[in-house]
A and B are shown apart, each in its own frame.
Chain A
């Protein structure tokens, strides 16, 4: 069952008609519908390509949040072997919004860390919709530190609406936890590769995405604030999220121009949610390419270059 987004309604109609025709034919052998249905299929495929050719920033936000998109857990299961989750921040709790542990990518041992949003009501609540609490950042700090001491590259998969605006999260110092996590990203002498697979929400994303290489899926977004939040502050009207999404320049394409990210990873036609396996495979091959760039690099040089990269960031603007 495909979950259609609001702007995909015309597509839903066409695909629905084709499905209806075929259903009728299944009950009545006399009916010859395949030709008509195939024409509808083609129409649908063309429309899908057309819709996704030039998605507006707001539509990209909707696609990036699509419930059927592959999540961190799917990437880990498909791309890595021997995934061994490591739990807890050794201080307060284990944060289920953050997955993390040892794993192998093409036999190479790595540390993988990512936000997991969950895929049904039960798991979404368990995962807190991918919003980490301080324990999540502190677990990640611990895992990055472990990776650093044993020379394992770190791979982070970013997919979060942002940090969790809760009483306990604030009391336990989520600002400090995010700051320390970003700091740890800048201190480790192993390659740190980050892929934004869905939503890169503000500080919750930066805490893991301060990396040597940052890639984004074609229709993912990465922003300082959600378009809704920005609209309600600057436009005093949360309904102006389309305008805010435009203004924020939060798409992979704009971020690449600004020099904030290094690579854009192509998604299958109609977005990762229509073909998880293909999306996951593209991420896998891009990860391998990015990791290969660090073969033989000295830890001190890795740290130095990473810092240089951030110090130099922001000299490129977008021509208005």
Chain B
């Protein structure tokens, strides 16, 4: 057989690349097939407008597992993470709420709004860090199947039980609550300042199709708390060169370890011969064979598009069909001739080097959700902005800037379907909303890129444009992700593996799925 490999990885996103790097590191002959002209999947940086580099989709980094950074020596391969020190929330009443990298400054700032909240803030932060610590071991665990009685699964369950028992009762209960309650309820227990609750609960809705008052969102909030940079919890950062910089670093590491990466090589089908995956057929018709095939694509794409259903059990296909992967967010990337000037805190300042969040209250987010749940984009959306060029000057020409705006909600299934008019109306809603706080913004815009879920799906391949390759809903986590019985990265087809965010532990630029899948595959290697 021509060009055969030990392992073939479908998709050159960060998980596919991490997976490939770990396999190559174990001495396997590996090839990564990426459909686009560049690696990264949803973690790419592209010069969409001359001189301006857009972090097109994902835009911050925090969840990337430190062990991956170590194992693959990513800094050596060009990974530099710059701190993203502050969060600035402008308010409709002309005031603002900010958290800075200076703890005392943050305390004073919150105290300006509520002494009680300033008091509670430290304890809240400590508890969330503790909870993140408590979940961390689970992120590194291969989910056992609680229904199976195999020694392996029983051991896994015992390990899980042991971990639970190792927690203090208080931590266990707090964790149980965090896993089940709503972000809004969680924050109501701690704070009274609407802007603080709004801004904090926002990270509980990212990538979900739920409002902050729906149970389950507290876990998503915690998921975003698991961010860790150089061992510092809840440190969010920006990768030099944008999130594409991360992908390139991982790709360089993989190449250095001997992995081959083929661009412009879209896979059309997974070739299955008598029950086992033996390779893939590219859209070009070329066939590539390998001992093992790993897909880093989302489960729906892998099993419903690239695999002939006749090779899969009917109830498995049904389960994959039921898998929830609704896209709910959009992205607006701006090329600016200057800096937006926020009336709440005029002039250039620290706020421009951090996150700017349009989340004045929990009700504001709920209203944004109300639009989406009835099939329309939010007229007044939640927006999370950063200005990469303020952190990494190479992102835009001198004196000019790029602004990345993550926007929720934008339902994939928009009433009457998405079209150019709706896309532009969505872009206008975002810019108009921002302009209420930074009136000069409109006059600064040189170029505007608007991405709605169908665009994200078309470009990155993420089904419905869901940024987590499957919602982080309670019934789609751990031993339920992506579907019961197939949470250990295996699939019903022999030698076909999954290594994307659709598997435990799920979304965000974490790389954990790719790594765990590789380690599991290597254990299994025959």
- State whether these chains interact: no
